Amino acid sequence: MAKTVGPIIEVSGLYKSYGKVEALRGMDLLVPRGTVFGFLGPNGAGKSTTMKILMGLIRPTRGEAFLFGRDALHAGPAARSRIGYLPQDPEFHTDRTVREILKFAGRLYPGGMNPLTLRRRVDALIEQVGLVGKDRRRVRALSGGERQRLGIAQALIGKPDLLILDEPSAGLDPRGRREVIDLINDVRQHTTVFYSTHILDDVQRVSDAVAVVGGGRMLAQGSIGDILGTPIGTYTAMLRGKPAAALRKRVGAEPWVASVETVRRGELEEWTVRLSDDSAADRLLPLLVGQRGCDLVEFHLSDRSLEDAYLEIVGGVHGE
């Protein structure tokens, strides 16, 4: 197996239009080898289109795409023998059993596997995706999470170096999503995983790097840390009870406070205080403590979730 260094997926200036609709308008993308890479963006941003172009399912209008450092647009199917792909809404023959589907997928691989190797591979996969004891079940008797795991298993059959998963956790309940995430975590040592999703907390949990796309273009990409940035100067405090209205006024009046926002959350009130002078942080807490009718139960720099960052990045291009 040729060990190429450099990115496993490289896309630059990719355009694709369907009639008047421009699905991609100059998409750029760089997926480093060995990462679990989250591909994020609103519905219709061009995620599936990009993945399908990489898989050779549709042709771009113009632009370049490289897989494993080789031109992916003009290469034959052999170039994709090292890729496992799970489409957005995978359709299986619902009458077939789990084992039949995996065997069928295994035979499709170029070069093929001898029956013994294939059986061993199928057994290993069934175990890996946690479908042991369910391998004789027909697809229609599987839950949504089990179907997605089967989909990932068939994508994994050829021991791919790259796994492309289009919304593997769409429509799953939290347990199903957790199963998919755990599975991605399992395969990360051997395989680069490039997957799209809307569940940002899952991304924050397993991904090394992410790309946010919108309107057919790359908006931001980098490690999760890069995307989140470092929060400074904004503090969150939770007060149990009902703080007097005067307290908010008093805090807001301090010269080193830029703004104060409060939101009621059940018995708690959440305060978000933005400081104009970060060095004044140690003066904020004493103001909030020892107030009549309320106790401070939480105080820290405001968290910035991937969702906040995402919404900021996408904010400019969102809107239907």
DSSP 110-143: TT---HHHHHHHHHHHHHHTT-TT-TTSBGGGS-
Among 7-15, 193-201, 216-224, 271-279, the segment contacting another protein (CB under 8 A): 193-201
Q: Other CB atoms closer than 10 Å to residue 18's CB: what's the count?
A: 10
Residue 183 engages another protein in binding (rule: CB under 8 A): no
| Angle (nearest 5°) at CA 176 between 195 and 57 | 35
Instruction: Give the nearer residue to another protein in terms of CB position, either 57 or 297.
Output: 297
Handedness of CA 73, 86, 24, 310 (dihedral sign): negative
Among 14-22, 37-45, 63-71, 147-155, the segment contacting another protein (CB under 8 A): 37-45
Question: Which 131-170 positions form the footprint of another protein (CB under 8 A)?
Answer: 133, 143-144, 170
Instruction: Give the nearer residue to another protein in terms of CB position, either 65 or 126.
Output: 126
First CA to last CA distance, the chain = 45
What kind and span of H or E run contains 250? Answer: helix 245-253
Paired tokens of 317: 């291009």
Among 19-27, 79-87, 113-121, 297-305, the segment contacting another protein (CB under 8 A): 297-305
Instruction: Give the nearer residue to another protein in terms of CB position, either 43 or 189.
Output: 43
Residue 198 engages another protein in binding (rule: CB under 8 A): yes
Instruction: Give the nearer residue to another protein in terms of CB position, either 161 or 179.
Output: 179
Separation of alpha carbons 262 and 269, rounded Å:
7
Residue 301 engages another protein in binding (rule: CB under 8 A): yes
Question: Which 57-96 positions form the footprint of another protein (CB under 8 A)?
Answer: none
- Provide the minimum distance between the beta carbon of 281 and another protein in the complex, in angstroms, as a whole number: 7
Instruction: Give the nearer residue to another protein in terms of CB position, either 72 or 294.
Output: 294
CA atoms within 13 A on the CB side of 284: 29
Instruction: Give the nearer residue to another protein in terms of CB position, either 108 or 285.
Output: 285
Question: Which 237-296 positions form the footprint of another protein (CB under 8 A)?
Answer: 240, 266-268, 281-282, 285-286, 289-290, 295-296
Handedness of CA 67, 91, 59, 169 (dihedral sign): negative
DSSP state of 97: B
- Which positions ≥6 away from 306 have C-beta within 8 Å? 200, 201, 203, 204, 210, 224, 227, 228
- Provide the minimum distance between the beta carbon of 228 and another protein in the complex, in angstroms, as a whole number: 15
**Contacts with another protein, residue ranges (CB under 8 A):** 40-44, 133, 143-144, 170-178, 198-201, 240, 266-268, 281-282, 285-286, 289-290, 295-301, 307, 310-311, 314-315, 318, 320
